[in-house]
Every structure is written in C-alpha cells, then in structure tokens.
Amino acid sequence: MSLERKIFDTDVLVVGGGGAGAMAAIKAMNEDADVLVVTKGPFPSGNTSIALAGYGAALGHADERDNPQVHFEDAVKAGQGLCNQKLVRTWVTKIVEITKEMDAWGIDLIREGDKFAQRPWEGHTYPRMVHHDMTTGKTVTKCLAQKSKEIGVQALEHTIVGGLLKEGEGSAGAWAIDGRTGQLLFIRAKVVVLTTGGMGHLFPMTDNINAITGEGYSLAFRAGAELIQMEFCHFLPTPCYPEEMRTRAVFMGNLNALINRGGARLYNSQGERFMIKYYPETGEKGRSGEEITRAIGLEICQGRGSAHGGVYLDVSGVPVEMQETLFKKFWKNADRAGIDLSYQPIELSTNPHDLVGGVKIDEKGRTNVHGLYAAGEAAGGAHGASRFGGSALAEALAFGAIVGTNAALFVKEQDIQSPFDGKQFTEVEQKVKTLCSHKEGIRPAELKKTIQSIAHNYLNVGRNEEGLKRALQELDHIKEEILPRMTASAEDREDKASKLLQAIEVDGQLELAKIIATAALSRQESRGGYFGGHYRSDYPEPDDKNWLKNIVLKREQDGIALHFETPVTE
C-alpha cells in the first residue's frame, strides 16, 4: 500500500488552535519566528469559542480595591492547597497586560464608559469578569482570528497530530494526518507548543466541542513529559435521558432555579431523596453546585444510579405559573421528548467540563522535555485541585502569550536545526499502513464508545478503589487484546481519513484514561472545590496531613511511574 506524505519545516509548531494556541502563534510571530499551527478544527476555535460568562482579570474597573494580589489569593484558595503559586502569580499578572493588549487589537468586550464592565462571580472577592454578555468566547475568538489574519499566521486545519518526533531527549516536531484526505504529514520543528485543550469527549457526554478528546495529554506523556494533578476534573450535572433533553449548554443555573425556586427534588434508583442523607436540614435547597455535583456523583459511584447512569430529577411540584414562564423552554423540550413532567422524572448525570491538571510546566511554559512547551487546558499545576469560573480562559490567554514568546526566544538562543530522522518517519509510516491494511477488525468509533463507558462508570466525580482497579483492568485488556485489532480500513478516501483521525484519538484516550485512573487510585482522600474535583466514597474526607502534595506521572517503559511533590510556594 502506497502512502502519500508531505514534509513541512518551521521554527515553532503550535499543536492546537484554541485561545492558548492562537495567542501563542501571534506572540511567536511577533518575535519573528516562523510559525505553523496544526488544529483539528478551523483556526482559531477550540473550547475558547464556546466560553460564556467571561474571564477574570484584576483590572480594578468595577472596584478599585481589586488587583492581581487579591486575584492571586482567590486563586490559591480555590486550589485547595495544591497550586503552584509561581504559576498563579504569573497568569493573574499577565492577564491584565494581555487584556489591555487585546483591547488595542479591537476586542469587543462590554464597557461602562471608558472602562470594562466587570461582573461578580463565585470565588472572586471583587467583580472581575470581563465579558461580552454570555458570548465572551466568540468575542475572544473573533479578536484572535482577526489578529492572526492580520499578521499572517499559517494553520493546517482539520488535521490531527498523532505523535511528537524526538531528537535525542528533546522535541523535534510531530507527525499528523489530514482529517479530510488521510495524507500523512511530517512537521519538523525547532520547538513544539502543546495547546490541545482538555478531554471532554473521553466521556459519553460533555459540554466541550467535538474536537476536545484528550489525546494531547498522551502526546506529551509518550514524549517523556511529566503530568500533574491528573485526578482533578470539573464535572457538571446535565440531563442524560431522554436524549432529547441533553444540552451542550451549562445546565447548573437551570438546576439551581428548579430546586430553589421551583421545589424540584433529586432521587436515586432506590427512591431515596438522597440529598437529605447528605444535608438533613436542607436537602437540595440552598446547596452549592459543588455539593450537588458531589452527591450525585457519589450516588452513581455506589451503585444507586438510574437506568441510564444518572439520578432522577422530579419537577412535578414546580408551580404551573413557573412552568409557563421561568421554565417554559425546559417544559417545551420535555414535550418534544415525549415526557410528561407532571409525573415522569428526567435523569441527570455528572459530565466533564474541564480537566484541572495537565502537562507540568514552569513559569515560562516549559515542560521537562527540551523544546516542548504547553499552555491552556493542556497544561497543569496552576490551579491545584480546583479553579473557579473565569480562570481557565484567563490562564489560557496569559500562558499562551508567555509560551509563544518564550518558544520563539528559545529558537533564537539555541540556534538549532530541524532534524530529519528517517527512522522515525519509517516507523510512523508503517504504523499508519498497518492501521489501514486490516480489512477486518474493530472500528475506532466502536472502541471509543467502550472507553467512554469505562470513563463514565469509574472515572466520574465519584470514585472508589474497586471501580478504579476495575477500570485499569478493563483498559489493560483493551490495550493488549482489542487495540491491536483496530482498523481504519476503508475504500473511500474521506472515510479512511476520518477513521484514521478517530483511531489516533482512541489510542490517546486509552492512555489518558489509564493515567487518570492511576492518579485517582493513588490519591486516597477527597479534595475539590467548584463543581467537583476528586471524590472517593472510600476516603470521603480531605486529608491534609498525608495528601497536601501533588501526584506527578511519567512514562516508564510501557507503564506509568508516579512520584509526589510538595506544592510550589513563592
């Protein structure tokens, strides 16, 4: 079988085209570096494009008492003792500068006179969220797109990176597949910036865009990079059944209103109003999003979940006038789904919003692999066990700028040449040929569903030793017995390209699921904050005496080695 291939050369390869990736590309080009972006979707896009309420920047426009020091203290508190404080200091300071710079680029954020409007948000001492109503992500993406076009950023769109190329112990570029043609691409680069986003679609349901599947963490891991805080994820309650009630929008606001204003109640599969067990005096009412998320997750984890992997939301007691006004859209969706909410409940499950951990970096965005940088949700360490709203986008933009500049400076200082490693090229070609040559075998989409089911059942917000060990056993079985039979064979060129893209995602997701399960099994405590974190039903309390430390994971032969580090303070 012949395999068409193409070779590119660049100074800086940016893998991922969301807010962090676009900002990194812009800043690297400002330092006169040659830059190439590879992204699975259009450029720019990513989860940045669907961010809603805004991002935190301590400009002091709404309250002059606000400043980066207060922002720093808020972020460290949210991290539950596990933040790398040097990273926190870096991004809460940098985002002020970047916001002013994007203002000069023409970003269309809401203003009040000559200042930005800054809305209050949970966890922030003062109103700090700059925004464009509830379409902030679109506004940020539009600004980055215009600036990228203005300076001529080049991007390979609808293309997935399948692995990083190495030169000795350092990074030397990547190989990729064009998701439309199946063409094999080799990108030789002097430095690689990883901005691949999160892992929402490791699970069956998520509010993430379709391209966010998580293989970026595995790319770094297989290249020798250390990962940190991988057990900490944010989860949100979302309708899971009937399917017509599912939503990509954040459902938490509706849920709080249904409970606190409408009197809705939560039940498990045994008919128990379980929130009363956790909070006898109040039940559901007045509980925070994190408390509700944790309770739902633990019920599912302990085998009291509903028929479709969630819990039951009973809204039969919501007053009719609220049904016809405040919750009109919700009731219309139920009618379309064939559900009579006067006596039929819907089912809610906890689904991933973002991963708090990621590739371990320093204040310049460097990983432990020479020539490999990371930023955005792909990077870890800055948020500890949890982060409040407005932090992910702010940190992505700030560190995107930092790594872009530092990656370009790295190229200048090192005076390195892009290597041509024929052996690595041959190995990659053989791997892709093998995937395409199997006429019979398991399709990537089918295997993906299996891995997603394991993640939902055992790696959700509620966890325990038995489930985590079972997850690792099932994942090992897939790796040894099923993955070798995965096939991307197809007669149609576009179909083959699509299957190759899915196969790369699945291969990375399998590795990622093992990494998360390993970290979660090791941390024998519960710790989290806003909308979940890491909750063990067998270790239900935080344990600062033994677990005020970070778990760092690294590849060791074909396994996972881990060690513990004391959180970095200033």
Does the fold of domain 428-542 match that of domain 235-351? no
Give pLDDT, residue 170.
86
CA 129, 131, 133, 138 torsion-angle sign:
negative
Q: Give dist(CA 99, CA 60) in Å, integer.
A: 13
Q: Give dist(CA 272, CA 351) in Å, integer.
A: 22
**How many other β-carbons are positioned within 10 Å of the β-carbon of residue 285?**
15
Evaluate the omega torsion of the peptide bond into residue 242 and state whether it is cis, within 30 degrees of 0.
yes
Q: Give dist(CA 255, CA 267) in Å, integer.
A: 14
In the numeric block, the tokens 């599969």 are attached to: 269
HSE of 42, CA atoms in CB hemisphere, 13 A: 6
DSSP, residue by residue, 292-306: HHHHHHHHHHTT---
Q: Give dist(CA 170, CA 192) in Å, integer.
A: 10
Tokens representing 71? 């922002």
Q: How much helix, strand and coil, in percent to the nearest 5, is found in the chain? A: 40, 20, 40
CATH of domain 235-351: 3.90.700.10
Give pLDDT, residue 143.
98
Q: Could you give the C-alpha distances from 380 to 18, 79, 104, 328, in angstroms and in order?
A: 17, 12, 30, 40
pLDDT along the chain (570 residues), means of 10: 80 97 98 97 95 96 98 97 98 98 97 96 96 96 98 98 90 94 94 97 94 97 97 94 83 90 96 95 92 93 92 96 94 93 94 95 97 97 94 98 97 71 84 87 96 96 96 98 94 92 97 98 93 89 97 93 96
Q: Which CATH class is domain 5-232+354-414?
A: alpha beta
Give pLDDT, residue 33.
97
Q: What residues does each domain of the chain span?
A: 5-232+354-414, 235-351, 428-542
Q: Could you give the C-alpha distances from 231 to 76, 301, 516, in angstroms and in order?
A: 18, 16, 5
In the numeric block, the tokens 């680069």 are attached to: 189
Domain 428-542 has CATH 1.20.58.100: yes
